[in-house]
Structure formats: C-alpha cells, structure tokens
Structure 1
Amino acid sequence: MATGGDLDGEDQTRPTWDSGGAAAGTASGSANDGINSATTAIERPTDEEILAQQNQIRAEQAQKSEYVGFEEPMSALKEEYINGNQNFVQKIGKLEASYGTFRRTRGDGNCFFRGFIFAYLENLLLTHDLPECSRFMSVVQAWKTRLVEGGFQELVFEDAMDVLLDQVKEITKPYTNYMHERLLVNMRDDTVSNLVVMLLRLITSCEVQRREDFFFPFIMGMYDEPPATVELFCQRHVEPMGEESDHLHIVAITEALQIPVRVVYLDSSGMPTGGNGSGLDATMHDFVPDSCVPGTQPRVHLLYRPGHYDILYPKGGRCVLLPCLSDM
C-alpha cells in the first residue's frame, strides 16, 4: 500500500534556509551567543514551511514527466536499480517472464487513477471489445444518479463524465493507429486527463461512503489517528487531486466500475524462491469485483513501487476477457 512519497523522490540538496551547521560566528561571550541564538530562532522554518518546500520540490519534479509515458522494455526498469536495490533487480528479472513492457505515469499523487483508466481504455481499444465498451458506458452513466444522491452537484462532474464517455465512444469506431495515438495525447492533456481523474476520485468517494460499514474497518486500520467519519476520510484522502491511493481506493473503484485489476508490488515484500533461497518473487494481488463471473482475469495490470503506480503489459498480447455482470 502506498505509504510514502511519489517515486520520483525528493531533492536531497540542502534547502537554502539550512546553514549546514551551527550558527556563524564563534566569538565567546554571552552577548554574541544571544545574538546567534536569536538569529537561529528567527531563521528556523516551521514544520509547515518545510512541508510546503518539500511539496514544491515534488511538484516541480513531477512537471518534468508526461502524465502518461511511452511503453518501455522491462530492462529499462531494471536499469534504474542495477547499482542499488538488488532485490528489486531480481524481482524485475522474474517479472520479465510474464511482462514485456511497462509505461510510466507521472508521480503527482494521481498515478494510480491515471494509470488505471489509461490502461483500461487502451485495453478496450486494442481488443475492440464492444460489449465491454457498452457495459462500461452504462455503468458510468448510472453513477450520475448515485453521485447526486451522495451529495455531489451534477455541475461539478457532468463535464468530466462526458469527457470519459467520449473517449469510450471513440474506441467503438474501427481501429486505426491514429486512435491509439489520440488516446495517449488525450491522457496527456491537462484538461482531459485531470477531469477524468477527478471523476474517478468522486466515484471512489461515493462508493466508499455508500458502503460505509464495509470500508470503515479499512480506514480504522490505516491510521494511528483515523478520521472520525468515513465522509471526513473521503474529503481528506480520496476527493482531493494529488492525494495518494491505497488498497482501499483500489477496492472501491474496481467494485464501483466492475473492472478487475492486478497490482504487482515491487517492494520489500515477497518470499524467497529456489532451493537455495536466492531471489525474490514480487507479490501480486488481484482486485476482482464480486460481480465478475468466476475465472475473470485482470483487465488492467499495474506495477506498484513505494508511493507510485506504473502500467504493466503482459506478454502474449491482450486477451479477450470474461465480462463482469452489471448490478447497477
């Protein structure tokens, strides 16, 4: 589960307000000591200022990458850790047997939702799965009523819903390479991409609140001092753009839209494999909605690294999957 900052990391250089040591000046005497102490007290930043600077650094670094990148070989991912985390190198090596490529997403706190919806729409496009397109559009349209009943104003989400439905309508047309390129362009566009992510966040929030009895134990176990109510949790940790996603978010959105997802965890978890205990297997978890028929395989594959999600592509092409049964 996402417990840290985005994968892009933070700038480790010393902030300008940090002198790097004791206050300047070594002259003895209580007067000088008093001046130095006063200067240090005045210049020392507050916790809020430190956090604001860290967030600014992260935001600036995130802007350097596209919302959704190009497909890359798994070897490019392995190269990131070749001189560092050897457990990750071994895990990626084992993943290469099942996954041929991956696609990066921007580490801006919205990476799960953005990667999830792009991978799903891309799968619809490449499989040209018209029945699934129809099912998905019906499910999304049904959420209009649920969102209003949940207290969200239609004016807030109607444009975002239209944008998402328009993407699916384009997919139902005969496939061309241009359509694939257009999907990527759209999901890199500030307006289109962020509207879709915003809608997914609202649907996730509504799903969590309408199933409060189910999700509240998750929330209680996530924090030492959890929010007092499910509604407050959603207002703080689900609805705002840039808030990182956790296990709870994945369960909620996969159930809400009835889309099965597999998350591969590239972290410290996993059990040694092989007779000599060498090597580690990455942990995998399938989030399959209750409405899906037995045997349903994941339609979306995501790679989790601490605080970040990217898209994975299984080897062997995109298979036709069993549908989920709508209960909306």
Structure 2
Amino acid sequence: MQNHDGDVVESKTESITSIQTSEIDDWANFRDDDIMKQQSAIQAEEAVKIPFVGDKEPLLTLAAEYQSGSPILQEKIKVLSEQYAAIRRTRGDGNCFFRSFMFAYLEHILESQDRAEVDRIKVNVEQCRKTLLSLGYAEFTFEDFFALFLEQLESVLSGNEASISHEELVQRSRDQSISDCVVMFFRFITSGELKKRSEFYEPFVQGLTNGTVEQFCKSSVEPMGEESDHVHITALSDALGVPIRILYLDRSCDDKGSISVNHHDFTPAPGNPTNDNANAVKPFITLLYRPGHYDILYPK
C-alpha cells in the first residue's frame, strides 16, 4: 500500500509493535523473514480489495489522491493532465505490469481492429513458442497459456462468433482464471526472451541481483506475484515487438528545480522480422509507474 508520496505505507506494521508484551515476550525472537511475511500478508489483504483491472477514471482522481501529499507530485500530476485524460488502475499484487499490458494491448486491438497487428504478433508468438521448446521447456507447461492468449486476441476482433464487447473484455480481465493465465503467458514469453539473449541481458540482471539470467527467470520472472522491472519490460517488448511507454510519477526534479514528468519508450530490438517497423511506431501502450506499481494511462 502506498501513501500520497508514492512510498510504501506500513501502517498496520506499526500496530504490531503495540501488541502487549504479555502476548509477545520478546520482539527480538521474530526473524526478519517473519516480519516480511507479515508485511506481505497485509499488502495482499489490501490488494484483493481492488479488481485485477479497474474502471477507467478521470485523471482528476489521481490528483485527489495526492492532494495532501508532496507538492512535487501534485505539480507532476498537473503536467500529466495536459496530455492524459484518464487512468485505469490495476491490482497491486506483483502482477500489475503484466495485467496492465494485457488489458491495454487487447483494448487497443478491440478499438482499432488492426488485423495486420494481430497477424504480426501471432508470428512473434509462434516464434516465442519455438524459443521455449528450444530452451528445453516441455510444451505442456505453457501450451494452455499460449492458447488462451490467442483465444483472447481473436475475441477482440469483430466479425466472428466469439467476438466480445469492451464491457466483456473488462469482465474477462477480472476473471482470475483468465487473467492469471494470460499473465503467465507473458511471464513465459519474457523468460524465454531473457534466456535466448542471456548474454545481452546478463549485465542488466546483475544490476538487480547477483544471480544468473537463469536464476533470475526462475525466481523473479516466471513465478506469479513477482514485481516487474525495466528488464522484464524490455524483454517483453523485444519478444512481442510492441513498443511501450512508461511515465514515472516520482519526486525527482532537475538541478534548477524544474518539474517535468520523465518517460521512457521501450522500443523492440530488430531481432524478429516483424519488429523492423516497430521503432517507427509511436507506443500505443502507455503505463504510469509509481514506486512498485503500474497503471494504464489514456492520452487526450
């Protein structure tokens, strides 16, 4: 859970320390991992109160959330509001980047009916399937996730019996059995890309952990609930050939005190033939990053 400054709030953790000494004889007996598990349980309890994917809200709701917070953040939200009209929040359960990407991409296809993009990404998905097989993954470990994503992709195209409306897309994104499976699809795609180009990604992974790419994928990419960093975003963008824009809502400002909202465009590497034109395409997926969390932004 975050406060108005984007920092993690550990309000309930404070209440733990107020438990009477008769109930806990010695606080020092609690190991660090015990405390972390307690904090994780609190955060998980708060997270389930929010849908996997929320309703589209005016960006003004974000301003209201920070009205008593940092003046820098308030000013940055004003800057954001000049170009962005709305926000769609996602559940802060460690899967928020992948859920945000999932919904934003499928929503884009539903609204644009870009069949050429669907054909293009299907080629990349098939290449990702072959990559996983070449890396030694058994097909039964990921085939259901691939099949479900392709099913969702077809469903947002009009003109077939399985076509769905925008309202149905929202409902499906909130169905745990569907939403979690698509998240796992993206996690496998990301893991396969990292391992395929391990020499390229190794320095970035070592900047986050002392482990190898293989270990990083096993501990921080493939398991549900593991948060995403720039390495995950880069790998997913490269694998699927989809450019992604991330805007950062934080308390940074330049040396002169000037306030602006920093952003970074993740443009796909030209490894796949279908990615060749990706660098010329303006990102149609825009996410807002606050410390530890991603939501979807909608331009004006």
TM-score of the aligned structures, taking structure 2 as reference length: 0.89
2:172 aligned residue (172, 182, 186): 186
Match status 1:136 vs 2:121: yes
- CA displacement at 1:122 relative to structure 2: 0.4
Aligned-pair CA distance for 1:68 = 0.3
The structural deviation recorded for 1:171 is 1.8
Aligned residue pairs, count: 288
Deviation per CA, 1:149-202: give whole Å up to 9, x if none: 122221111111111101111122249995111111111111110001011111
Find the counterpart in structure 1 of residue 244 from structure 2.
261
SS of equivalent residue, structure 1 residue 253: helix
1:216 matched residue in structure 2: 202
- Deviation at residue 119 of structure 1 after TM alignment: 0.3
**5+ residue gaps, structure 2:** 1-5, 270-274
2:109 alignment partner in structure 1: 124
The residue type equivalent to 2:165 in the other structure is M
CA distance in 2, matches of 1:12, 1:205: 35
Q: Distance in 1 between matches of 2:250 and 2:129?
A: 37
- Give the Cα separation in 2 of the matches to 1:114 and 1:174: 26
On the 8 A contact 1:207/1:252 being kept in 2, the answer is yes
1:235 equivalenced with 2:218 (yes/no) = yes
Equivalent position of 1:13 in the other structure = 12
Match runs of 1:88-103 below 5 Å: 88-103=73-88
Which among 284, 292, 303 is matched to residue 288 of structure 2?
303
2:178 pairs with 1:195: no
3-state DSSP of counterpart to 2:280: coil
Once the two structures are superposed, residues 73-100 of structure 1 have per-residue CA deviations (whole angstroms, 9 ceiling, x without a partner) of 1110011111111111111101111111
Distance in 1, Cα, partners of 2:244 & 2:152 = 20
Contact between 1:71 and 1:101, CA under 8 Å: does it hold in 2?
Answer: yes
3-state DSSP of counterpart to 1:285 = strand
- d(CA) in 1 for partners of 2:9 and 2:136? 37
Amino acid at match of 1:18: T
TM-score (norm 1): 0.81
Hey, what does 1:323 align to over in structure 2?
A: none
Deviation (angstroms), 1:15: 6.0
SS in 2 for 1:13: helix
Match of 2:263 among 257, 274, 284: 284
Whether contact under 8 Å (1:17, 1:44) holds in the other structure is no
- Give the distance between the partners of 2:78 and 2:32, measured in 1 at CA: 41
Q: Percent identity?
A: 41
> How far did 1:292 drift?
3.9
Segment drifting more, 146-155 vs 166-175: 166-175
Distance 1:113 1:179 in 2: 22
The answer on whether the counterparts of 2:156 and 2:164 sit within 8 Å (CA) in structure 1 is no
User: Aligned partners of 1:181 and 1:158: how far apart in 2?
Assistant: 27
User: Cα distance 1:86–1:177, how it changes in 2: closer, same or farther (>3 A)?
Assistant: farther
Q: Are the aligned partners of 1:8 and 1:107 in contact in 2 as well (CA < 8 Å)?
A: no
How far 1:268 sits from its partner (Å)? 2.5
CA RMSD in angstroms, aligned pairs only: 2.5
Larger Rg: 1
**Residue 54 of structure 1 aligns to which amino acid in structure 2?**
Q
Quickly say closer, same or farther: Cα 1:177–1:305, change in 2 above 3 A: farther
